[in-house]
Amino acid sequence: MKPSERLLKSLTVDNLWQYVIKALKRPRYAYDLTRSLRRLKANMVTVYSVLYKLEAGGYIKKTFSEKGGGPSRKYYVATKKGLNELKAAKKLMLKHLKELN
């Protein structure tokens, strides 16, 4: 694997939490989220693992919605803490890019 390919993997799959928080700026259910992250080549188990860790850390939260008397659906949404962490990560990445120029 070329160094640039390892970098891409590191920036995407290995740091999937950033993409998850970004996607959860609006409420989404887990399956919808995994479909939207397919382009990153992240499998469903990895996405669910990231969801559980982010929820445990308070970066995202679960909400429930009932539709027409049917079963309730579990949705996830980013918290203020999660959005602040994403903002900090972006700032750190921009700083790193400037150092490479």
User: Domain holding 58: CATH number?
Assistant: 1.10.10.10
Q: Report residue 57's pLDDT band, with 50, 70 and 90 as the boundaries.
A: very high
The tally of domains found in the chain comes to 1
The whole-chain average pLDDT of the chain stands at 90
Place of tokens 């700032």: 91
Residue corresponding to tokens 């640039």 = 4
- In angstroms, the CA 11 to CA 3 distance is 12
Task: For residue 20, give the nearest of 93, 77, 90, 80 by alpha carbon.
Answer: 77
Tokens of 43: 């499998």
- Its domain, for residue 88, covers 3-100
pLDDT, mean of residues 50-76: 86
Q: Which residue has the higher pLDDT, 25 or 65?
A: 25
Q: Which residue has the higher pLDDT, 9 or 17?
A: 17
Q: pTM for the whole thing? A: 0.86
Instruction: Report yes or no: 21 and 86 within 8 Å, Cβ to Cβ.
Output: yes
Please tell me the number of Cα atoms within 13 Å of 96 on its side-chain side. Answer: 7
